[in-house]
Amino acid sequence: NLSAVSEFVFVGLSDAPEIRLLLFVLFLLIYLATMAGNITLLTAISTDSHLHSPMYFFLGNLSLLDLLCSTITVPKMLGALLLEHKEISFSGCLFQHFSLITVVGTEIFLLTVMAYDRYVAVCHPLRYLSIVSTKLCAQLALGTWATGLLNSLLHTSLVFTLSFCGPNKIQQYYCDIPPMLALSCSSTHSRELVILVVAGVLGSSACVVTVVSYIRILLEILARKSPGIWHKAFSTCGSHLAVVCLFYGTTICTYVRPSFTYSPHWDRVVSMLYGMLTPLLNPIIYSLRNKEVKCALKRVISQV
């Protein structure tokens, strides 16, 4: 109620009807492929006893987050492309923003937990199941979701208690932090600073843990000097490392920068890389690099 704006309007990706239809078909296919890939991976992990281990427990959480990430933003964008229904209420925008930031934050911390899991698997293989126990897995997963939720509460309260009394066209296909700050008619400098500091501290902490984990893995590989150790380590960590690089690259380009560098066209491109391609590619990366996952997926598909 602090805002004079009751609804927002998403700026369309294109005004040409033929281009809109083409984009609708393209993004619908990507969304369906993302849903199919992550649901199949979740089904394989939950039903195949060979995948009932800490690594695949965290991978299942990652697939769930990818499903949520796509579902939060893509259906609304598809509706805008096909039906030109580009409006979203103030409360709807708030909920979409809160949900998306929760998923993004949770995924950052989950990837960090997965890096620690890979460190234990490579450096302490004989004690792996005793260190990364079922209880610890549950605590780590619950901690990532709780931290993502609290982080989103802070960011959403900072953004949506601003005054919105003028323009209401969001230069994006979903309610995100940079375009919402750009629409505010009140000063955003102090809140923007808080957002950057919180995101910087949490993001850098997660990044440091991930980097340290892989440095320890590298030192362990160099110390062993056993034949085939490089191939084994890469098969163990390669998928996670690829997902981390993809996630951090697109997330940093989207969020870790001040608002005066905000570019609507560039942001829409980067956001699509993060919001659509990353959830699509994650199950593919893990499936291509992991024999156990490929075998489990084959069993699920044959049963279907």
CATH number of the domain that residue 212 is part of: 1.20.1070.10
pLDDT of residue 29: 94
Q: pTM (2 decimals)?
A: 0.86
Average pLDDT of each block of 10 consecutive residues along the chain (304 residues)?
A: 70 69 89 92 85 88 92 88 81 92 92 91 87 92 95 92 82 83 84 86 89 88 73 71 78 61 63 78 76 75 74
Q: Taking the alpha carbons of 60, 92, 152, 248 in that order, is the dihedral positive or negative?
A: positive
Number of folded domains that form the chain: 1
- For 178, the domain range is 7-303
pLDDT of residue 146: 96
Give the β-pairing of 7-10 and 169-170: parallel
| Token reading at 110 | 């989950």
Whole-number Å distance between alpha carbons of 120 and 125:
7
The residues near 164 (Cβ < 8 Å, ≥ 6 apart) are 3, 4, 5, 90, 183, 184, 185
pLDDT of residue 258: 55
Is residue 222 a part of any domain in this protein?
A: yes
pLDDT (tens digit per residue) in 109-161: 999 999 999 889 888 888 888 999 999 999 999 999 999 999 999 999 998 88
pLDDT (tens digit per residue) in 171-186: 788 888 888 888 888 8
pLDDT of residue 1: 46
pLDDT of residue 155: 92
Is residue 2 a part of any domain in this protein?
A: no
